[in-house]
Structure 1
Amino acid sequence: MDDVRARMAAAAKTVGRELGAITLVAVSKQQPWSHVAPVLDAGQRVFGENRVQEAMVRWGELRVARPDLELRLIGPLQTNKAKEAVGFFDVIETVDRDRLARAVADAVQALGRTPKLYIQVNTGEEPQKAGVTPADADAFVAALRRDYGLSVEGLMCIPPADEPAGPHFALLAKIAARNGLTGLSMGMSADFETAIRFGATSVRVGSALFGVRN
């Protein structure tokens, strides 16, 4: 973890940013607890999971013992899991369609609890990936605010694996800026340093922290 933080700090320094302005999200999804526990014990408190039920089983009891934990849903969210996700996660990063926005809004109303919300943008317009297209992002941000009464924290993206990540991060930052959004969740183990140089406020790092999943 020290190596990752050192690399984050170095990347931030190149563009005059402070490390404290960037959140390290440890992507613990599908990792064995023997890999996660040492990172938790070393002081990491923000973790990313991609399945609601798996996260609830893994972190449910620990949330009571460690109230300083922050859990982020970084995987696709089904509408029938929206209420559980709203009740459990501190941040949901993958809001990407009207039906899901309605389900989240209904859950917020029912539970009286509002996690921070990010919109996933499919910057590469890849058919196999979730996310709104860049062309539809502005209208979707407006709809969440106007039609569903939801406050949007920021945007998230996963660039195509076979393209340079920088242009995708620049595009996400541009969309966020014109919509008055401050959160930029972008960058993973292979490209988090590039993401930081393009303004990421959080980076999602898995294999660089835990090793490659089996």
Structure 2
Amino acid sequence: MDNTASLMTSPPETPLGHVRAAIAKTARISRRNAGDITLIAVSKTHPAERIVPLLEEGQRVFGENRVQEAQSKWPGLRERYPDAELHLIGQLQSNKAEEAVAAFDLIHSLDRPSLLTALAKAMDKTGKRVPCFIQVNIGDEGQKGGCAIAGLPNFIAKVRAANIPVAGLMCIPPSDKEPAPFFAFMDKLARDSGLDGPEAGLSMGMSGDYETAIMLGATHIRVGTALFGARGT
């Protein structure tokens, strides 16, 4: 998706305008094309009436954490805005794979063999091939989802063998550490794994660190608080 036009259409005084301006500035500093960076507005927990203003400003890519929440909010929104694109950015249970394939345009959290099997089965059944980012447990955190770094080459090969389109790699760095080294390592992992061309995506960076992520190669940034405010506000 080319975001060049959308980066220029939002009033600068709105939260979306501020984020778009920051993306454009950071891309310019890092000698990148701002149109190559996809802003995912993380609309999880926010009702449809909070999402509509961003849609009216031209934002078209949104992220939800849960299949059930997306199913309840987005059918009506997509009737009004048929060009909206919906990404699953949260952990996905294998028993929700078929529903996720039906509801989402892109999945960011493919991270284990059981989910791979379930998604491949769902895509074969529906005939819909949904691109997936492979989530990497970049900080080797026991409580966090993601493929282990050592197992990444083998897992990428299995995803490709299952005819699931690989969108690239995704990570969530440890919350108590400086994210820059993890973002830089993700960029290296992608190159070392032979993910180039259409598989060159890097889904990394959130409200507090998306500018750093862009400097270090992010192609998809997941921004919620900077657009919607803190949850419940």
TM-score, length-scaled by structure 2? 0.89
2:186 to 160, 172, 187: 172
- Report the secondary structure of 1:10's partner residue: helix
- The residue number in structure 2 matching 1:99 is 114
Q: Percent identity?
A: 51
- The residue number in structure 1 matching 2:229 is 211
- The residue number in structure 1 matching 2:6 is none
- The residue number in structure 2 matching 1:35 is 50
Q: Tell me, yes or no, if the aligned pair for 1:118 and 1:152 is still in contact at 8 Å.
A: yes
Q: Which amino acid aligns with 1:213?
A: R
Q: CA deviation at 1:204?
A: 0.3
1:16-55 to 2 correspondence within 5 Å? Answer: 16-55=31-70
1:84-163 to 2 correspondence within 5 Å? Answer: 84-146=99-161, 148-163=162-177
Q: CA deviation at 1:209?
A: 0.4
Q: Do structure 1's residue 73 and structure 2's residue 88 form an aligned pair?
A: yes
Q: Which amino acid aligns with 2:32?
A: R
- Report the secondary structure of 1:153's partner residue: strand
Q: Tell me, yes or no, if the aligned pair for 1:138 and 1:175 is still in contact at 8 Å.
A: no
Deviations 1:26-76 (A, max 9, x none): 000002333222111111110000000110110012223322110000000
Q: Which amino acid aligns with 1:105?
A: A
- Report the secondary structure of 1:5's partner residue: helix
Q: Which amino acid aligns with 2:72?
A: V
Q: Tell me, yes or no, if the aligned pair for 2:63 and 2:87 is still in contact at 8 Å.
A: yes
Q: Tell me, yes or no, if the aligned pair for 1:79 and 1:103 is still in contact at 8 Å.
A: yes
| Bigger mean CA deviation after superposition, 167-176 or 198-207 | 167-176
Structure 2 residues without counterparts, runs of 5 or longer = 1-15
- The residue number in structure 1 matching 2:206 is 188
Structure 1 residues without counterparts, runs of 5 or longer = none
Q: CA deviation at 1:191?
A: 0.2
Q: Tell me, yes or no, if the aligned pair for 2:130 and 2:164 is still in contact at 8 Å.
A: no
Deviations 1:61-109 (A, max 9, x none): 2223322110000000001100010111000000000010010000010
CA distance in 2, matches of 1:12, 1:64: 33
Q: CA deviation at 1:132?
A: 0.7
Q: Which amino acid aligns with 2:131?
A: K
Once superposed, what is the RMSD of the aligned Cα atoms?
1.1
Q: Tell me, yes or no, if the aligned pair for 2:131 and 2:164 is still in contact at 8 Å.
A: no
TM-score, length-scaled by structure 1? 0.96
